[in-house]
Structure 1
């Protein structure tokens, strides 16, 4: 394992746990059930990290730290949710060896929230766009990409919540010398409440690269804790994930997904 990537991941983990430790108040069942809803009707800010311990066909590791911000808004009485995601990537640099770290590509999606008739069930669909904002060539695609996103979250049960995030995007402009982007991703998620804000979780991301027929299908299970302080809901978690099926170089063999999600109630 590369000590630089491991150090980045550990520092982020300890920092998130410190921030989460500030939350002490008990959480209501409704808050716990909605804490993992990507379409929740409230402003949210997430600090999430993937420490990738082993990549296929190499002995290297990597790290992805994500900053995510979500904000609901209305247009002519229709309800939308805007989410912005910006990674800080640490990737190996073959064949010279070593790693490089830099800001990656910015992704934005706007989901139109469809009235399901059940306030516990959220369903959204809308466009997404990825801008080539990477600070270094090695940590970004150097391509403009656009596509669609579809999200479902069902919190009808206070005990068990589930849903998915389905996305697809294809490049339409950018550096000609770089490989085109044509990627589909499916993230199923499930959360089982143990009580007191503690829950079990599984939220792997399955990725299929349509451009080169490579794919990554991880599975995992983790644990999280939801707590509330004032009008802020804190949700911190850790989820080890292991590859069940993969094809192509540079796919994660195993990784640790951890983070701190914050929802700011009105």
Structure 2
């Protein structure tokens, strides 16, 4: 009887080892996902839907956002973050009808130390670029723009990550018939790791258009979980969005769903 019980305990322990290892891997990946300049290749596909426009319009768009870190020295990484929007707008702006196509690409490059500071802070700084890749005037600015970008954050032993990401873009070339670009983007963020690859996240994706003296301030709340499909690590996130401030006639609310392919150790 004792021998049988021992074998059962050992069998359960052995079965639990892969589960424990997977949970640790998922938690580590979730922690890296909360850090915009982590050494992790990821490819998020971010689905967004905004509604509540004053004239009954709506907007559906998918942001493809590959993140690729590159080691450039013993102490420094360069992290490439790209945002490619695929956009569908139904009467946004009013009177434009239905529009579908690519938007302008935003490309950021962060130069970040591989190790945090003595106080535990993680940071990165570099250039950001706006590329006029939109397939329709409604979906883009028609301008080339560039400016600085930066991120600062801290991750605690209690599972909290907090910090901010920002950039400012000025136009310097492009269609002379289109308005110039001078936009500041500021994103304070807070996340809480819940264990087993699960995370709660909160952020303001605030932007200020200096040309039109206009804020856009959506607040996002989301829940995500890292899991595995076959041999592929992936994170799924769902969330809601409320707009505290928009241009006249802008949306009131939105939803977001993100599937992120993860490539650890590559």
TM interval, shorter chain, is 0.7 to 0.9
Q: What is the alpha-carbon distance in structure 1 between the residues aligned to residue 167 and residue 232 of structure 2? A: 29
Alignment of 1:34-183 (within 5 A): 34-55=32-53, 57-77=54-74, 78-91=76-89, 92=91, 94=93, 96-114=95-113, 115-117=115-117, 121-183=121-183
SS at match of 1:252: coil
Per the TM alignment, residue 173 of structure 1 is displaced from its structure 2 partner at its CA by 0.5
CA contact (8 A) 2:32 2:40 kept: no
Q: What is the alpha-carbon distance in structure 1 between the residues aligned to residue 123 and residue 86 of structure 2? A: 29
CA contact (8 A) 2:148 2:167 kept: yes
RMSD of Structure 2 on Structure 1 (CA): 2.3
Task: Give the stretch that moved more between structures: 91-100 or 68-77.
Answer: 91-100
Change (3 A) 1:226 1:136: same
Change (3 A) 1:119 1:104: farther
Q: What is the alpha-carbon distance in structure 1 between the residues aligned to residue 85 and residue 48 of structure 2? A: 10
CA contact (8 A) 2:235 2:259 kept: yes
Q: 1:176-195: CA deviations, max 9, x gaps?
A: 11111111111111111223
Task: Give the stretch that moved more between structures: 236-245 or 112-121.
Answer: 112-121
Q: What is the alpha-carbon distance in structure 1 between the residues aligned to residue 152 and residue 232 of structure 2? A: 23
1:211 aligned to 2:211? yes
Q: What is the alpha-carbon distance in structure 2 between the residues aligned to residue 250 and residue 112 of structure 1? A: 38
The two structures have a TM-score, normalised by structure 2, of 0.82
Q: 1:95-126: CA deviations, max 9, x gaps?
A: 54521010111121110103433696431010
The two structures have a TM-score, normalised by structure 1, of 0.82
CA contact (8 A) 1:220 1:242 kept: yes
The count of aligned residue pairs is 240
Change (3 A) 1:237 1:95: closer
Q: What is the alpha-carbon distance in structure 2 between the residues aligned to residue 139 and residue 174 of structure 1? A: 15
CA contact (8 A) 1:204 1:241 kept: no
Per the TM alignment, residue 229 of structure 1 is displaced from its structure 2 partner at its CA by 5.6
Per the TM alignment, residue 153 of structure 1 is displaced from its structure 2 partner at its CA by 3.1
Q: Mind listing any 5+ residue stretches in structure 1 that lack a counterpart?
A: 1-24
SS at match of 2:66: strand
1:260 aligned to 2:256? no
Q: What is the alpha-carbon distance in structure 2 between the residues aligned to residue 198 and residue 70 of structure 1? A: 20
